[in-house]
């Protein structure tokens, strides 16, 4: 029975390992405010995860280089501990637990996507850790009575609401026939609910209502139906992959539809990757660089975009902009609370009312930002085939006129 000895020594090894690996950071070390974030660096959300991380890093550098955060007469600098949640909610919940109980983080930044935020929110809520998140838009996040969750973005059900209303308006106020296909994930399903609401209110009819799998790379079945049934509007949402797949297959199959409304066009760099094929696509966005909001750190959208381009080599999608904004919100809240007490910071966050380059930020009791409308932009190309995203709605910021209906493929 010597095997027992082996197992016993094995167990003691585990125990020793555990006891020696308790490394504890405090929330505020020296002159640093340590924030924790689980980000999707691998897995299906990895590209958006990186956009998020770049947005966070950009703001951290900017705030730190412009004097940091002043609390109690002392200046602090931001620092972020990152983990990779692998685009997996189970992992994200585990990491949140780890950030809080092992790394001693007392303030959190959100992950990418609604599903992961849903997994993390119960944990931060339990520990009373304020979390400012920039990428979880699902409406159900804001109906659960969470007190420590703050989202700088507009909820998901509003994403394409404007598109439907615009289509109805252009149809002379009569209801339109909608075809829709949504990925089976928390965010896209919420966008779908928003469309259902909008359809009900405008008397529109939903003639195709498809679900797309999570590992999304084919939606031909939906498009065949669209070709047959000729809807007035085609709505597609499935994060970056959904946008890319839709454009690729619509072009391949030459699907004619008067209006194509999507999400995540800028994160997918549609206008760059698919050029003229993506022309006329209508996209919901939390932010666009041409909006005229201003703040002291990034000045305005155009300056942010230029700085971001210089730093990371690509045009910032709204995912990066909103992530940067999350840091601005935190800084503002720390300074107003003038304390690192979690409750006080939480109350300060709840009372946030500010303008950033990304938009106005003011939280409803549920935690969602109620002071910032969504914008719609359309991909427009010039004769040389150079494509750009131009804001077409709401009219206040519109830099171009909506092209409707989309010309048939045979005429393009």
The least distance separating other proteins from the CB of residue 340, rounded to whole angstroms, comes to: 18
Query: Measured over all CA atoms, what is the biggest interatomic distance in the chain, rounded to whole angstroms?
Result: 86
Site for other proteins in 90-109 (CB under 8 A): 90, 93-94, 97-98, 101-102
The least distance separating other proteins from the CB of residue 4, rounded to whole angstroms, comes to: 5
Each residue 193-222 as x (binds other proteins by CB under 8 A) or -, in order, gives: x-----------------x-xx--------
Exposure string over 207-219, b if 16+ CB within 10 A, otherwise e: bbeeebeeebeeb
Q: What does the block give as tokens for 278?
A: 């993506």
What radius of gyration, in Å, describes the C-alpha atoms of the chain?
23
Cα separation, 316 vs 294, in Å, equals 16
> Among 395, 163, 142, which Cα is nearest to 285's?
163
The least distance separating other proteins from the CB of residue 90, rounded to whole angstroms, comes to: 5
- Pick one of 106, 190, 232, 266: the residue that binds other proteins (CB under 8 A): 190
Burial-class residue 310 by CB neighbours within 10 Å (0-12, 13-18, 19+).
exposed
> How many residues form the binding site for other proteins (CB under 8 A)?
60
Name the E strands within 173-281.
177-183, 205-212, 233-237, 259-263
Q: Is 6 in the site for other proteins (CB under 8 A)?
A: yes
Site for other proteins in 64-83 (CB under 8 A): 82-83
User: Running DSSP on this structure, what letter comes out for residue 348?
Assistant: H
Each residue 112-131 as x (binds other proteins by CB under 8 A) or -, in order, gives: ---x--xx--xx-xxx----
The least distance separating other proteins from the CB of residue 335, rounded to whole angstroms, comes to: 28
Closer to other proteins by CB, 118 or 288: give it. Answer: 118
Cα separation, 248 vs 270, in Å, equals 10
- Which run of H or of E encompasses 170? helix 161-170
- Pick one of 89, 110, 301, 367: the residue that binds other proteins (CB under 8 A): 89
Cα separation, 99 vs 132, in Å, equals 15
Residues 327/74, Cβ–Cβ less than 8 Å: no
Site for other proteins in 15-34 (CB under 8 A): 15, 17-19, 22, 24
Closer to other proteins by CB, 57 or 356: give it. Answer: 57
Q: Is 184 in the site for other proteins (CB under 8 A)?
A: yes
- Pick one of 140, 249, 273, 399: the residue that binds other proteins (CB under 8 A): 140
The least distance separating other proteins from the CB of residue 276, rounded to whole angstroms, comes to: 32
> Among 85, 88, 69, which Cα is nearest to 77's?
69
Q: Interacting stretch for other proteins, rule CB under 8 A, among 9-17, 263-271, 318-326, 336-344?
A: 9-17
Cα separation, 96 vs 109, in Å, equals 10
- Pick one of 57, 157, 263, 378: the residue that binds other proteins (CB under 8 A): 157
Backbone φ, ψ for residue 219 (5° rounding):
-135, 30
Give the residues lining the site for other proteins (CB under 8 A). Answer: 1-8, 10-11, 14-15, 17-19, 22, 24, 41-42, 82-84, 86-90, 93-94, 97-98, 101-102, 115, 118-119, 122-123, 125-127, 138-140, 143-145, 157, 182-186, 188-190, 193, 211, 213-214
């Amino acid at each position: 029975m010597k095997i027992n000895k082996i197992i016993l020594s094995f167990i003691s090894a585990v125990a020793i390992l555990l006891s020696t690996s308790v490394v504890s950071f405090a929330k505020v070390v020296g002159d640093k405010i340590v924030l924790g974030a689980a980000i999707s660096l691998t897995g299906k959300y990895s590209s958006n995860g990186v956009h998020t991380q770049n947005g966070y890093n950009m703001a951290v550098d900017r705030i730190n280089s412009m004097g940091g955060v002043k609390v109690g007469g002392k200046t602090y600098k931001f620092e972020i501990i990152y983990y990779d949640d692998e685009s997996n909610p189970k992992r994200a919940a585990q990491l949140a637990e780890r950030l809080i109980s092992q790394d001693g983080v007392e303030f959190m930044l959100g992950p990418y996507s609604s599903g992961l935020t849903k997994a993390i929110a119960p944990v931060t809520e339990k520990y009373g850790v304020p979390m400012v998140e920039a990428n979880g838009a699902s409406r159900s996040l804001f109906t659960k009575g969470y007190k420590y969750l703050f989202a700088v973005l507009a909820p998901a059900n509003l994403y394409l609401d404007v598109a439907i209303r615009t289509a109805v308006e252009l149809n002379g106020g009569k209801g339109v026939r909608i075809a829709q296909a949504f990925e089976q994930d928390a965010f896209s399903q919420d966008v779908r609910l928003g469309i259902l609401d909008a359809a009900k209110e405008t008397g529109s009819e939903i003639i195709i209502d498809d679900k797309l799998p999570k590992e999304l790379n084919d939606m031909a079945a939906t498009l065949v139906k669209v070709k047959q049934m000729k809807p007035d509007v085609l709505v597609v949402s499935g994060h970056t992959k959904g946008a890319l797949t839709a454009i690729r297959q619509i072009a391949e199959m030459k699907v004619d539809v008067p209006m194509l409304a999507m999400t995540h066009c800028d994160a997918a760099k549609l206008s760059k990757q698919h050029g003229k094929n993506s022309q006329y696509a209508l996209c919901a966005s939390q932010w666009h660089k041409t909006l005229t909001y201003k703040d002291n750190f990034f000045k305005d959208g155009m300056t942010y975009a230029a700085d971001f381009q210089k730093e990371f080599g690509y045009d910032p999608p709204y995912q990066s902009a909103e992530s940067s904004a999350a840091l601005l919100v935190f800084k503002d809240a720390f300074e107003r609370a003038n304390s690192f007490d979690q409750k006080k910071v939480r109350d300060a966050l709840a009372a946030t009312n500010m303008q950033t380059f990304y938009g106005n930020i003011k939280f409803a009791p549920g935690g969602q930002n109620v002071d910032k409308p969504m914008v719609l932009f359309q991909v427009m190309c010039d004769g040389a085939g150079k494509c750009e995203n131009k804001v077409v709605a709401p009219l206040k910021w519109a830099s171009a006129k909506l092209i409707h209906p989309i010309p048939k493929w045979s005429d393009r």
